[in-house]
Structure 1
Amino acid sequence: MSEPAVAAVSQRAGLSGVASEPARRWWILGVVGLAQLMVVLDATIVNIALPSAQRDLGFSIADRQWVVTAYSLAFGGLLLLGGRLSDLLGRRRMLIIGLVGF
């Protein structure tokens, strides 16, 4: 594609300049990193709280694995639901709702 054609396409697409693109990429990387941190933090909290729950509820070590499996299945199912809702309502809106809900 020639230089004027690229400029025309970027102008129609609403791309104002090249200088703002690297800043936006870092912003997006930060948001995605924060979302990944929330996922890891959630899994860590479950693993730390599991021995206390086992003691309080009186289930065995073998049953502890069932708790982890049930949590993983629920998390995966809700992740799929969240993906579908983000397709319907918008990715940014669902990310903000998920972060606030967490």
Structure 2
Amino acid sequence: MKKNIPIFRTGDTIEVQVWVSEGSKRRIQLFEGIVISKRNRNFNFSFCVRKISNGDAIERVFHINSYNIGNVVIKKRGDVRKSKLYYLRNRIGKSAKIKELLTKK
């Protein structure tokens, strides 16, 4: 079980470091996007990250205790009211933006 995972919520912009095997070599590939859903199951939870690359939307589901995940870094906190942001699938451009959560320092 991993212990260095930060606490993030739906709507946050995160960067996931994924181990990718290419032949006999392994390297880290970054996947940065918005968390559109999070499924909590005790210690083992999964989350879905959506990013737009070259005009195409890509969604990946990650299991937090997978050996293919190296690290998770939070880039921005999002201010949302829903736990599942599936409505972002139908939106393009500025309407797919999420307002940033302002925190006190």
TM-score tier, shorter chain, comes to under 0.3
Q: Structure 1 length as normaliser, TM-score?
A: 0.19
Q: Does 1 or 2 have the higher relative contact order (CA < 8 Å, sep 6+)? A: 2
Bigger Rg over Cα: 1
| Structure that is richer in helix per residue | 1
| Structure that is richer in strand per residue | 2
Q: Structure 2 length as normaliser, TM-score?
A: 0.19
